[in-house]
Amino acid sequence: MGPKPGVLMLKMMMPYLRDSLESKFTLYPLWEQSDKEGYLAQNAQSIRGLVTWTGSTVDAELLNKLPKLEIVSAFSVGVDKVDLRKCKERGIAVTNTPDVLTDDCADLAIALLLSSMRQVCAADRYVRKGCWPKLGQYPLTYKMSGKRLGIVGLGRIGMAVAKRAEAFSCKISYFARSEKSGVPYKFYDTVLELANNSDMLVLTCALTKETTHIVGRKVLDALGPEGFLVNIARGPVVDEQELVKALIEGRLGGAGLDVFEKEPQVPQELWNMDNVVLLPHVGSGTWDTRRAMADLAVSNLEAHFAGKPLLTPCN
């Protein structure tokens, strides 16, 4: 047996993942280094694998510092922060962690719909302040059951949201790059048309050039003052400035947001809005799912270094 392959971990994502990597590979923990540039230069010849997540960018600049890199294993389903073109050019494999996080992300979309429409977080804050409404004095909210739900992106997560929404008797329609066969939901070929025919819009699509700012003023106005937007996809899918304006001006009923355009920045204007729920990008954030993601990220690396087929390649 030769030396263990060297794997660079960009950030401390989860001790379980770190331990697992350390037991199988020679781990290079970049976040622990004060001189990151020097550390990369010193170990560049030994680093053959890299583990990343949604909070780090794997761009050409980083890739150029790693001449021996063979595989990028993303601890996430989205790989929008990985320069896939450059990886392809260099023959670097890229893997992600689909499927194992589908349920959690879909669960969270429903939680965001319910909590923004029913203003669950605001009501909780109200009670914690020691308040209790006199009969009929508490602000009324919006019903979710039976409403028209539009889903942007009908991949694994979009489908899982749809399945859950069926239990709420929602009328489901969707926008995707193309119409899916065998799907019992109505297809619209633009997001604007979808929004025109929806009370709630849930974004589950990948971030690409085509989906950047796909939700702007027109789409928000189509949803209208009793319409709700939930974003569990990526912040830049929404034109955040337009979203903030629509909420301030009451042109949109409310929003449930797990992701933001410039994370970790969350627009301050939204902080005190009772009809808006703000989460710190935790779509997959349960013990069960994060462990499963870690196992998959590590298994992809193991498969690669053993010369076996990758479990979940994405390029």
**Which residues are the active-site residues?**
234, 263, 281
Other CB atoms within 10 Å distance of the CB of residue 210: 9
* Smallest distance from ligand DGY to CB 97, Å: 6
Q: 304-315 b/e with 16+ CB inside 10 Å = b? A: bbeeeebbbebe
Kindly give, in sequence order, each residue whose CB lies less than 8 Å from that of residue 16, ignoring residues fewer than 6 positions away.
Answer: 290, 291, 294
Tell me the C-alpha distance between 238 and 206, whole Å. Answer: 12
Query: Whose Cβ is closer to ligand DGY: residue 273's or residue 282's?
Result: 282
Query: Whose Cβ is closer to ligand DGY: residue 101's or residue 122's?
Result: 101
Tell me the C-alpha distance between 110 and 105, whole Å. Answer: 9
Q: Which two tokens stand for residue 138?
A: 């508490």
Phi, psi of 273 (to 5 degrees): -90, 120
Phi, psi of 220 (to 5 degrees): -65, -40
* Smallest distance from ligand DGY to CB 270, Å: 20
Query: Whose Cβ is closer to ligand DGY: residue 70's or residue 99's?
Result: 99
* Residue ranges binding ligand DGY (CB under 6 A): 54, 76-78, 101, 281, 283-284
Query: Whose Cβ is closer to ligand DGY: residue 119's or residue 312's?
Result: 312
* Smallest distance from ligand DGY to CB 116, Å: 18
* Smallest distance from ligand DGY to CB 215, Å: 17
